[in-house]
A and B are shown apart, each in its own frame.
Chain A
């Protein structure tokens, strides 16, 4: 075991430490807090590179386990591990995180809670890196929840805005619904495998011994145990990765500051679900000896991913908010990753995760730059023509857009998405996910083109510029001090954009079919992807056509004629107002949830309260009234039956007493006399007794 395995825990520990320290810092120490966070992140990045190098030289999982607690004679161990999956994620998260930290110093410059922001951000980074290095499902779960907490804190960062507070709560609760499944799956796995460690020199839950036991044991509905547990854990992944139907929190999460959206809700945390499935892939894919079809668990993952991919893409077409478009796009891309995991294995899914992290972070940061430049404006109808004012942002944003659209051959997104489409095409269960994914890819290219046309082309439609707008602003955010006209962002913000843009290009070449380094690295030494497979070129051609067609359609509808005013309805809205409305409202899923689950919860709460107040309390009241009634009867009997007899006897005693009292004259000598007479009587009595 190399030294780096032992110290890999420092990678999450450093940002956590930074968070702890800056939590104690006073509000005004802005520079120390930001500096601390950035330095810790940089150190983590350096360590992550070392870890990466170590994983390159030894791709088998290396672990460091320790005992966390004991119950009875049992020991619950936690630990961390280093394998290619961890190494890749570590580098990606620390690098993107570092860039976003730097960017945030510019973006959040004027915020009064600047210190808190970096505290939360560093805590998030710590939690996320903890998820990555965890060698125990429990440790992963714990860090997972901490990540959820920081997501909650950061979405609700502008807590005075009730919408942000509500969105934060919604995010936490929605992901917690998934986490309940995760928790049950985890305790089930623990009960069956007797450990929660992933790798423990042959005894781990993901190693052949435990997995083969789980794969042959069946439980309800003919599911194998491994699939059942895998699906329960997948619930957690669905919550975190915004898969339908638990995606509702992700668009609302855009209430948070934009760097948060970029880091947490695009690049890293939402990908944690994908990472989780990749991590427990041996469990998900375990099947008995004679079965060859993909396991139920992986099929479910694929279908959920496909539905999510198509859903997100369609909804993104009809959004106005620059960040909401990207949010739905993220939902959709996460769906792609799930498809990739389901049909092609961890390497395919993870490749898209990594490339997506870079270009989506780029897009969000670009969007942040746009919002910053437009003084907080987020509605794309009020933008336009920004390429003149913000050339650098435009350039990098364009690269991100091409990457997301899957522009053929040059950008990373093309290669990763192509790998997914290829695997989906060859899936043995059904072709439908392939067609859904293809349609989604077309729409992706389309809505990204639409967005770019709205934002960067045409004329400026900001209020006070160009044609005067009378519509009241959709967002009353005035957090950013506004200059009169759009302006390019400072270098501290554009430099990360440029770096990310470079990687949005370059990263793709790590995983092209000609040189699938990434896949072979992730799959360890048993790489099979190097050979040319049938249909590869055909799929590539098809996906190229799809992407180009999408971009063309977008340009046709939005770019050819520049949008003049911000009141002008969308082209699609004009053509299909009903459909557009449905899409704009994201199929009314929020409204449906409000009408069903939320209302159900509220009613159940009311019911529980009423039960309490009236039924249970009522029973108690009835009993107490019964007792009171008895008491009344009793007192009646007492007063009129018992007391009557008692009173009369008492009265006679009292009269007797009065008679006796007359004897008590108060004269001592009288008493003495009585005593003397009594003596006489006594002696007489005794003598009489003797005489007899």
Chain B
């Protein structure tokens, strides 16, 4: 197992745990946190690939990570705001009782 594979494995695990949380928690905020974790896993991949890439002067990976963090921050802000608004609307953030997306 090379170094890169270790990092990738770690990020996969992190991703899976985040996914498991997102899939199993009833609290919408925790679901959102799970998604954030999955994003973080992706960031680890970017950095790892940059680190083990052909030359560290190609900083695309770093850039991607930075933009990804920015997007994630925006996503978290809007997502949490939506949750707060949804809570105000229906007085719950229980995803099991939220099914208004039903077609």
**Chain A–chain B contact at Cβ < 8 A:** yes
Which A positions have Cβ atoms within 8 angstroms of B?
661, 664-669, 672-673, 676
Establish whether residues A664 and B23, one from each chain, have CB atoms under 8 Å apart when the complex forms.
no
Question: A666, A669, A672, A673: which contacts B102 (Cβ < 8 A)?
Answer: A666
Q: Specify the chain B residue showing the minimal Cβ separation from A671.
A: B101
Instruction: Give the nearest-CB partner of B25 in chain A.
Output: A669
Is the pair A665, B99 in contact by a Cβ cutoff of 8 Å? yes
Binding site for A on B (CB under 8 A): 19, 22-24, 31, 95-96, 98-103
B22 touches A669 (CB 8 A): yes
Interface pairs (16), CB distance under 8 Å: A664-B101, A664-B103, A665-B99, A665-B102, A667-B96, A668-B31, A668-B98, A669-B23, A669-B24, A669-B95, A672-B19, A672-B22, A672-B23, A673-B23, A676-B19, A676-B23
Please report the C-alpha to C-alpha distance between residue A668 and residue B22 in the assembled complex, in whole angstroms: 10
A3 CB to nearest B CB, Å: 100
Question: Which chain A positions have C-beta within 8 A of B99?
Answer: 665-667
Check if A664 sits within 8 Å of B102, measured CB to CB: yes
Give min CB distance, A659 to chain B, whole Å. Answer: 12
Q: Which residues of chain B come closer than 8 Å to A673, judged between CB atoms? A: 23
Distance between Cα atoms of A688 and B5 in the complex (Å): 19
Number of A-B contacts (CB under 8 A): 32
Q: Among the listed A665, A669, A676, which residue makes an inter-chain contact with B31, where contact means beta carbons less than 8 Å apart?
A: A669
Tell me the bound Cα distance from A631 to B26 in angstroms.
61
Q: Is the CB of A666 within 8 A of B101?
A: yes
In Å, the complex CA distance between A375 and B74 comes to 110
Chain A contacts for B103, CB-based, 8 A: 661, 664, 666
Cα distance A664–B99 when bound, in Å? 10
* Closest partner residue, chain B, to A679 (CB atom): B19
In the A-B complex, the 10 residue pairs with the closest CB atoms: A666-B102, A666-B99, A664-B103, A666-B101, A661-B103, A669-B23, A667-B99, A676-B19, A673-B23, A672-B22
Closest-by-CB residue of B relative to A657 is B103
**Whole-angstrom distance between the alpha carbons of A665 and B23 in the complex?**
15
A669: chain B residues at CB < 8 Å are 22-24, 31, 95
Cα A298 to Cα B96 with chains together (Å): 118
Q: Which residue of B lies closest to A660 (CB)?
A: B103
Give the Cβ gap from A262 to chain B, nearest Cβ, in Å: 101
Q: Enumerate chain B residues within 8 angstroms of A676, measured Cβ to Cβ.
A: 19, 23
Residues on B with C-beta less than 8 A from A661 are 103
CA–CA, A664 to B103, complex, Å?
Answer: 6
Question: Taking CB as reference atom, which chain B residue is nearest A665?
Answer: B102
A675 to chain B, nearest CB (A): 9
Q: Are A668 and B100 in contact (CB under 8 A)?
A: no
In the docked arrangement, what's the CA distance between A665 and B102, Å?
5
Q: How far is the CB of A674 from chain B (nearest CB, A)?
A: 11
For B35, the closest partner residue in chain A by CB is A672
CB distance from B46 to the nearest CB of A (A): 18
Complex CA gap A46/B24 in Å reads 123
Q: Give the complex CA separation of A672 and B31 in angstroms.
A: 10
Whole-angstrom distance between the alpha carbons of A661 and B31 in the complex? 24
| Nearest CB on A from B40, distance (A) | 17
Nearest B residue to A664 by beta-carbon distance? B103
Q: Closest residue of chain A to B24, judged by CB?
A: A669
Contact of A666 among B19, B22, B31, B100 (CB under 8 A): B100
Residues on the B chain within 8 Å of A667, using CB: 95-96, 98-99, 101
Let me know if A668 and B95 touch, CB within 8 A: yes
How many Å from the CB of B96 to the closest CB on chain A? 7
Closest partner residue, chain B, to A666 (CB atom):
B102
Max count, chain B CB within 10 A of own CB: residue among A667, A669, A672, A673: A669
Closest to B101 in A: A666
A661 to B103, CA, bound (A): 6
Residues of A within 8 A of B98 (CB): 666-668
- Besides A669-B23, A669-B24, 20 new A-B residue pairs in contact (Cβ under 8 A), listed by A number: A661-B103, A664-B102, A664-B103, A665-B99, A666-B98, A666-B100, A666-B102, A666-B103, A667-B95, A667-B96, A667-B98, A667-B99, A668-B31, A668-B95, A668-B101, A669-B22, A669-B31, A669-B95, A672-B22, A676-B19
Q: How far is the CA of A661 from the CA of B101 in the complex (A)?
A: 11
Complex CA distance for A672 and B28, rounded to whole angstroms? 13
A667 to chain B, nearest CB (A): 6
Cβ–Cβ < 8 Å partners of B96 in chain A: 667
Residue of B nearest to A658 (CB): B103
Contacts of B19 in A (CB 8 A): 672, 676
- Cα A533 to Cα B103 in complex, Å, equals 125
A666: chain B residues at CB < 8 Å are 98-103
CB neighbours of A665 from chain B (8 A): 99, 102
Least Cβ distance of B48 to chain A in Å? Answer: 18
In the bound complex, how far is the Cα of B65 from the Cα of A284, in angstroms? 110
| Neighbouring B residues of A672 by C-beta, 8 Å | 19, 22-23
Instruction: For A664, list chain B residues within 8 Å (CB).
Output: 101-103
Residue of B nearest to A663 (CB): B103
A594 to chain B, nearest CB (A): 86
Instruction: Quote the shortest CB–CB distance from B83 to chain A (angstroms).
Output: 11
Smallest Cβ distance from B19 to chain A, in angstroms? 6
Instruction: Tell me the complex Cα distance, A665–B95, Å.
Output: 12
Q: How far is the CA of A673 from the CA of B21 in the complex (A)?
A: 11
CA distance in complex: A676, B38 (Å): 12
Closest Cβ–Cβ distance, residue A496 to chain B (whole Å): 107
How far apart are the CA atoms of A666 and B95 in the complex, in Å?
A: 10
Query: Nearest-CB distance from A673 to chain B (Å)?
Result: 6
**Complex-state Cα separation, A669 to B97, whole angstroms:** 12
A residues in contact with B31, CB < 8 Å: 668-669
CA distance A667 to B100 in the complex (A): 8
**Docked pose: A665 CA to B103 CA in angstroms:** 7
